Amino acid sequence: MTTTKMQLDERFDIMVSRPIANRMARGFFKLGFNADMVSMIAAACGVGAGIAMTGSGLWPVIGGALLIAMVIVDCADGAVARMHPPSDRPWRGRMFDGIADLATLLSVHIGMVIALSNASFTLGGYTFGGLEAVLIGVAGFISFTWKSSVVDDIKQRLKGNSCDRDVDTEKYAAQKKSLFEKFLFFLWVWYVKNSEKLTGPGRPGGYELFRQVALVGPSHHLVALAISAMLLPLAPTIFISYVLLTAGPGNLYLWYVLSRARREHAGAEA
């Protein structure tokens, strides 16, 4: 099966983000935007979402809307990149996109911690404070990072033109780079190597596995987090439910599908 027949997006992106992002990309291109600029717009939406989530009244609702906007705009940068001539250093754009994702991830989880700290609630006779909020936020961050790294690692191996395939070669390492580009290149190599480790022993892959792990991919996580933010004025503890579901059943699901894929691969080799 070729990548042109594969849907290498999560379900929300296929149904919502990609159709809107493709239209947005044409507009960005006409305005002279490049992919890095679009990635920074996505980052601004993500950071703004985290800040808005800490506010009172309807601010969390605005934060949720900004987070969904980030998910959509994040799909547009790749489309804009494809409208421009191919770059000889695709890792640069990949890391710009990665920085936008990281800025969003940090912002929304810090916003989650602040929102939970401000709620000051009691559960089962135990009063939750700042420390508990930090622990919940860290658990959510780690859970998100693991799942999104695994999904991306499998996805990049399915993409025939992914620059990640050349991370161990001299193709990009020998290029002359500015100081900032050296930093981006270091981040790219570090990220690719760690994503490989987070996928686990045997590094299972394949399109069928991708479709399974995409259920707990980053876009779905961010949309769930956005919905949680929108419900925050009605349920101040909603972020606890989000983390419990994603770090509990979500992590168990990913562990199960990866373990099953490793067993099937081992059986096929035997």
Asked if 39 contacts 96 with a C-beta cutoff of 8 angstroms, the reply is yes
pLDDT band for position 237 (cuts 50, 70, 90): confident
CA distance 226 to 194: 27
Instruction: Report pLDDT for 267.
Output: 63
Q: What is the largest CA-CA distance in the chain?
A: 61
Instruction: Report pLDDT for 83.
Output: 93
CA distance 66 to 72: 10
What stretches of the chain show up as alpha helix (H) in DSSP? 11-12, 18-30, 35-52, 59-83, 90-119, 130-158, 179-199, 207-213, 218-231, 238-245, 251-269
Please say if the pLDDT value at position 73 is more than 50. Answer: yes
Asked if 98 contacts 187 with a C-beta cutoff of 8 angstroms, the reply is yes
CA distance 245 to 54: 22
Superfamily name with CATH number, domain 3-269 = CDP-alcohol phosphotransferase transmembrane (TM) domain (1.20.120.1760)
CA distance 66 to 64: 5
Tokens (6 digits) for 224: 């769930």
CA distance 223 to 68: 6
Please say if the pLDDT value at position 2 is more than 50. Answer: no
Which residue ranges make up each domain of the chain? Answer: 3-269
Give the Å distances, CA to CA, from 218 to 19, 131, 240.
18, 26, 18
**pTM to 2 decimal places:** 0.91
Q: What is the mean pLDDT of residues 7-28?
A: 95
Judged by average pLDDT, the poorest of 84-98, 101-115, 163-177, 256-270 is 256-270
CA-angle at 139, arms to 123 and 184, nearest 5°:
150
Per-residue pLDDT of 22-63, as tens digits, reads 999 999 999 999 999 999 999 999 999 999 999 999 999 999
Instruction: Report pLDDT for 3.
Output: 44
Per-residue pLDDT of 86-137, as tens digits, reads 889 999 999 989 999 999 999 999 999 999 988 877 777 777 788 889 999 9
Per-residue pLDDT of 183-226, as tens digits, reads 999 999 999 999 999 998 889 999 999 999 999 999 999 999 99
Q: Which residues are paired to 127 by β-bridges? A: 122
DSSP state, residue 126: E
Give the Å distances, CA to CA, from 180 to 23, 35, 158, 197.
31, 17, 29, 26
